[in-house]
Amino acid sequence: MTRPAASIPERVRSLAVEVTSRTGYELVDVEYRSEPGGWTLRLFIDKEGGVNLDDCRRVSEEFGAVLEVEDPIPNPFNLEVSSPGLDRPLTRDGDYVAAQGKLVRITTREPISGRRNFRGRLLSATTEPASTHLMEAGGATGDLMLVLRDDAGAEQRIPARAVERARLVYEWPAPNNGKKGRRAGSTHGQPGSGTETRR
């Protein structure tokens, strides 16, 4: 029986977490999508100080061996292992907490205050008790609430559970008297990708 495509990222994620955790990497995200060249399974990994091509190649080889044994994907696909890049996706509560003070781009599943797309600085990411306002916005007791100041200067409150997708927005360092600038945390997302065709 052909497995539904919607279940493949979840199946793959559980396998990938085992591989990345035992090899010292963090699994940031998993994508499985149809692209012009066929189906692509893409893992995004990270570690302290960022990842490079050798890191991506190592995870690709180890995870490829696991895929051969477990066989969670019924059709031919390309396996890619990459760094999360400068526009790192935010997928877990811990990602939002770490992103406080940074520029983010958020798309919600349903409109909030008449909008689904938000861009601005993430002021806070905290767990709040239920209230009438939270319930109207789609939140519940213990939900993580994101407070964002958008590009127009308005403060937006977005329950994390209402987020469809979210990413960091890279801020270019300000010029420093002609010297190359450096921003704290900018080592994340160093270029690197390992690509392998399966089957």
Tokens matching residue 103: 């520029």
- Beta bridge partner(s), residue 117: 107
- How far is it, in rounded angstroms, from Cα 150 to Cα 144? 18
Amino acid at 117: N
What average pLDDT does this structure show over 162-190? 58
- Containing H/E element for 148? strand 144-150
Q: Check residue 116 and give its pLDDT.
A: 92
- How far is it, in rounded angstroms, from Cα 138 to Cα 181? 41
Q: Check residue 195 and give its pLDDT.
A: 53
Tally of helices (H runs) and strands (E runs) in the chain: 4, 9
With H, G, I as helix, E, B as strand and everything else as coil, classify residue 124.
Answer: strand
**pLDDT tens digits along 48-104:** 888 888 999 999 999 999 999 998 988 899 999 988 777 788 888 888 998 899 999
- Containing H/E element for 139? none
**pLDDT tens digits along 106-151:** 999 999 989 999 999 999 999 876 554 544 554 444 589 999 998 8
What average pLDDT does this structure show over 24-31? 88
Tally of CA atoms within 13 A in the half-sphere of 50 that contains its CB: 15
Say if residue 16's pLDDT is above 60.
yes
- How far is it, in rounded angstroms, from Cα 103 to Cα 123? 9
Q: Check residue 82 and give its pLDDT.
A: 86
CB 143, CB 127: distance < 8 Å: yes
Q: Check residue 94 and give its pLDDT.
A: 86
> Taking the alpha carbons of 1, 198, 18, 189 in that order, is the dihedral positive or negative?
negative
